[in-house]
């Protein structure tokens, strides 16, 4: 099974498959679709007992892909340079057994360490013929693709309204609920689909290859069978914000550059000030963690596309092509907020209009086909991390929902809030250990 | 607006953005997200009057991306090496005006030529401030990403059942309907959602970047406003078949390699025998064209994931890890069909079991979130091209739907059939010219 087949020898970085256009640099040709999952994954694998190498694939070319370290003080997937694709899942806990939930969180952590290293879950996609494979197999031969898995705990994990209106403390966690993990208020214009909102747990899977992100969520859901159910999930195909502000700013589905002044993932001062929870701020288990707000924002694409360029630029307060703030020439020129319409998105959302308030945005564009009226079901899956939601997303969104000119063209249709604990520092630790321990 | 900004100078191929993992080769770092849309697009642009270069972005590094030629004898997107991502849209024609439909097809063709060259539609994302931009802008700065746009005409374009049960010849095309463009029969186990089936027209957009594919469909839909409506659309994130059989075979969401013995896009003999319509086979306007069958195939993922490895391998008649046919060692070893279970998928679908019958497969995996029961809404969006559907997909699917062991784990939930005309040979020609002309 480990042999280099004649066909395999065609797949290295240097040899683009014939039939590919000459000089074409597709993702496959460059990273070698043929499984860069071995050597680099192995480099980080030593400490993880459950690791199984994908051993049927040839070694990759050097530098083909680099895994994002799983073990660190903060969870990866927050300050990490934003990957190209997203699969986000919110889960309902269906068991009433605290032990079963803890057992699953331990297994999730182990599987996450393995998958973010580009390796297979458990005994892999093969094993006992009589048993289902431990790993569903569709990522076999693919590198980790910078996969990160970020976990969060929703308000309903701590206390949930029972059928009679009283709150139920299912897992004895009520006293540990952070004050910052509020039930988000209803904002003006919200039109939330409750089936696409909330959740007891969430996992954000980001990777440069969607197959890798989908594989990770699916295998976690599978491990969680009988303990959790997927409540809703969202695939994101194009990042709309960057945590590497020195790189090209991506465009959202309105065609505008978004997140020019996002927090940089390498700016420790800004992260400490705006993103990571400090000691003493709420329960100790959240120190080093962050609060995540997820909002599914539908764009009225067809209406937007019939809107004049001037109106579009007025909505943002930036030019469309260059992304320059009104009255300036270049995207990164310091905005002159007074030169923008008072209800423009950038003016309202800018830190200078909000006492220096900043959130770390990590959103993705989505397109989920077409709705019943033939309109593109598309928009922005907004993800934002912050130190205290009450002092960040909530006042900002109150302001935007009240006045933002953009509201004519968007609608918030899904909403969720999660407390993301700090990182896993070493093998043996598990997601939620300080919360449940 | 055309200046190289200080920030732009950070984006070339040689300079990975700081904050990216060292040695990481993300798609962005390699092709330079910062707009490889200019120079290479321009190389092929000369003949297209409507072309507007994306002039705000710096020139890309040489060889950063290569456009797939739009002008050719056959439509691109069929034999073309399969790209990484798909956005497929089926349209209903809402006008009764043949002239309006012809005008739109001419505009579509012009826009397709421009977009597949990595350029902007019409006057681009800027223009008159008082008018909506001609191009929606979200692909600004992105290379063509090997975008192909492939058009097809559905049975209902030629004749449609009216409310009283009689057929209506809306556009005077009834006499030109190819006999091969049948209404597909109902197959055993079909559970079709009519809202996700059929369509008067289709456009298959394939590209290595989903934002480019989504942009293309959206801009065509926009051009078609008042003439066509999107009936349904499907995003595909991972190709499941390859038309470059010498390259690594991709895996489907069941974790198996699929399409090992697909028709090679560079095998002119096989394409002539199985894919392209020959002169004299039906109406002349289809000579050089091909018939496309699209099937949305939902996988019962959760059931599959609880199935033993042996059962999974029996279903396919191949090993999971290597993809070797039963009784053989390597994926590409010639299958011994008698060594496989009689109802295995590979045995039933193999050309040797079907008098040499072959279809060119171009399917993609999809994940559209979660259904109401918390199950992953995922599967295979099957796309197959053939010379005559009556002699290819229909008998093959009759056989598979009747006996295939795979049927326990899948369900066909969407279906469509289209006649894809030959390619556009030079500027000035338009999609459907020989049909409407």
Q: What is the pLDDT of residues A199-245, one digit of tens each?
A: 999 999 999 999 999 999 999 999 999 999 999 999 999 888 888 87
- Residue A261's pLDDT band, with cuts at 50, 70 and 90, is confident
Q: Which of residues 382-411 of B touch A (CB under 8 A)?
A: none
A66 touches A44 (CB < 8 A)? no
Nearest by Cα to A293 from A121, A137, A415: A415
> For residue B260, is pLDDT > 90?
no
Averaged pLDDT, A100-129: 93
- Residue A60's pLDDT band, with cuts at 50, 70 and 90, is very low
Tokens representing B235 are 């995003």
List of chain A residues whose C-beta atoms are within 8 Å of the C-beta of residue B11 = 247-248
Nearest by Cα to A275 from A401, A166, A422: A422
Q: Where are the domains of chain B?
A: 70-297+418-436
| Non-local CB neighbours of B132 within 8 Å, separated by 6+ positions | A305, A306, A307, A308, A309, A312
B412 touches B296 (CB < 8 A)? yes
How many Å apart are CA A225 and CA A220, to the nearest integer? 9
How many Å apart are CA A346 and CA A26, to the nearest integer? 35
Q: Which of residues 127-186 of A touch B (CB under 8 A)?
A: 127-133, 135-141, 146
3-state secondary structure of A27: helix
Place of tokens 């012009």: B110
The beta strand positions in A300-390, using DSSP E, are 360-361, 364-370, 376-386
pLDDT of residue B5: 33
pLDDT tens-digit series, residues B7-35: 333 333 333 333 333 332 222 222 332 33
List of chain A residues whose C-beta atoms are within 8 Å of the C-beta of residue B368 = 235, 368-369
pLDDT tens-digit series, residues A406-422: 999 999 999 999 999 99
pLDDT of residue A203: 98
3-state percent breakdown (helix, strand, coil) of chain A, nearest 5: 25, 20, 55
CB contact under 8 A, A63 and B233: no
> For residue B236, is pLDDT > 90?
yes
In our burial notation (b when 16+ CB lie closer than 10 A, e otherwise), range A180-192 reads bbeebeebeebeb
pLDDT tens-digit series, residues A280-319: 999 999 999 999 999 999 999 999 999 999 999 999 999 9
| Shortest Cα–Cα distance, B291 to chain A (Å) | 22
B131 touches A308 (CB < 8 A)? yes
Q: Tell me what percent of the residues of chain A surpass a pLDDT of 70.
A: 85
> For residue A271, is pLDDT > 60?
yes
ipTM over 0.90: no
Tokens representing B377 are 């809404």
- Residue A65's pLDDT band, with cuts at 50, 70 and 90, is low
pLDDT tens-digit series, residues B160-210: 987 888 889 999 999 999 999 999 999 999 999 999 999 999 999 999 999
| Interface test with chain B among A82, A196, A309, by most B beta carbons within 10 Å | A309
B3 to chain A, any CB pair closer than 8 A? The answer is yes
pLDDT tens-digit series, residues B384-396: 999 999 999 999 9
pLDDT of residue A149: 98
In our burial notation (b when 16+ CB lie closer than 10 A, e otherwise), range A106-129 reads bbbbbbbbbbbbbbbbbebbbbee
B35 touches B141 (CB < 8 A)? yes
pLDDT of residue A248: 81
How many Å apart are CA A40 and CA A32, to the nearest integer? 13
> For residue B407, is pLDDT > 60?
yes
List of chain B residues whose C-beta atoms are within 8 Å of the C-beta of residue A248 = 8, 11, 28, 33-35, 141
| Shortest Cα–Cα distance, B9 to chain A (Å) | 10
> Cα B379 from chain centroid?
16
CB contact under 8 A, A140 and B251: yes
pLDDT of residue A421: 98
Lowest pLDDT segment from A24-33, B73-82, B305-314: A24-33
B39 to chain A, any CB pair closer than 8 A? The answer is no
pLDDT of residue B65: 64
Helices (H) and strands (E) in chain A, counts: 11, 12
Which of A89, A132, A322 has the CB atom closest to B56's CB atom? Answer: A322
Q: Mean pLDDT in chain B? A: 85
- Residue A166's pLDDT band, with cuts at 50, 70 and 90, is confident
């Amino acid at each position: 099974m480990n042999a280099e087949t004649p066909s395999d020898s065609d797949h290295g970085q240097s040899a683009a498959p014939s039939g590919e256009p000459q000089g074409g640099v597709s993702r496959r040709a460059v990273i070698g679709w043929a499984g860069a999952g071995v050597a680099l994954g192995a480099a980080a694998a030593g400490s993880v007992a459950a690791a199984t190498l994908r051993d049927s694939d040839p070694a990759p070319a050097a530098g083909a892909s680099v895994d994002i370290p799983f073990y660190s003080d903060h969870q990866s997937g927050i300050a990490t340079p934003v990957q190209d694709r997203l699969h986000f899942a919110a889960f309902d806990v269906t068991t009433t057994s605290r032990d079963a939930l803890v057992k699953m969180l331990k297994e999730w952590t182990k599987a996450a360490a393995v998958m973010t290293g580009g390796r297979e879950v458990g005994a892999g996609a093969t094993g006992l013929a009589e048993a289902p494979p431990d790993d569903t197999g569709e990522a076999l031969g693919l590198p980790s693709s910078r996969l990160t898995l970020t976990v969060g705990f929703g308000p309903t994990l701590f206390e949930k309204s029972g059928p009679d209106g009283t709150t139920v403390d299912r897992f004895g966690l009520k006293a540990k609920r952070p004050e910052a993990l509020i039930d988000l208020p209803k904002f003006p214009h919200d039109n939330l689909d409750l089936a696409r909102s909330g959740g007891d747990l969430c996992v954000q899977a980001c990777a440069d290859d969607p197959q890798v992100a989908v594989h990770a969520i699916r295998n976690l859901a599978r491990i969680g069978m009988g303990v959790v159910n997927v409540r809703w999930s969202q695939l994101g195909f194009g990042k709309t914000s960057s945590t590497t502000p020195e790189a090209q700013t991506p465009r959202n589905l309105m065609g505008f550059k978004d997140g020019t002044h996002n927090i940089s993932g390498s700016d420790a001062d800004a992260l400490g000030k705006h993103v990571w929870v400090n000691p003493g701020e709420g329960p100790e288990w959240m120190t080093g963690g962050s609060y995540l707000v997820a909002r599914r924002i539908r764009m009225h694409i067809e209406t937007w596309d019939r809107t004049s360029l001037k109106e579009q630029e007025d909505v943002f307060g930036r030019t469309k092509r260059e992304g320059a703030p009104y009255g300036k020439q270049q995207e990164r020129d310091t905005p002159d907020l007074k030169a923008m319409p008072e209800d423009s998105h950038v003016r309202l959302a800018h830190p200078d209009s909000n006492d220096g308030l900043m959130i770390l945005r990590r959103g993705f564009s989505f397109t989920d086909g077409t709705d019943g009226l033939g309109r593109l079901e598309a928009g922005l899956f907004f993800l934002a991390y912050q130190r205290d939601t009450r002092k960040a997303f909530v006042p900002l969104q109150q302001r935007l929902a009240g006045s933002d000119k953009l509201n004519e063209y968007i609608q918030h249709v899904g909403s969720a809030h999660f407390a993301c604990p700090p990182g896993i520092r070493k093998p043996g630790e598990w997601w939620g250990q300080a919360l449940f321990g």
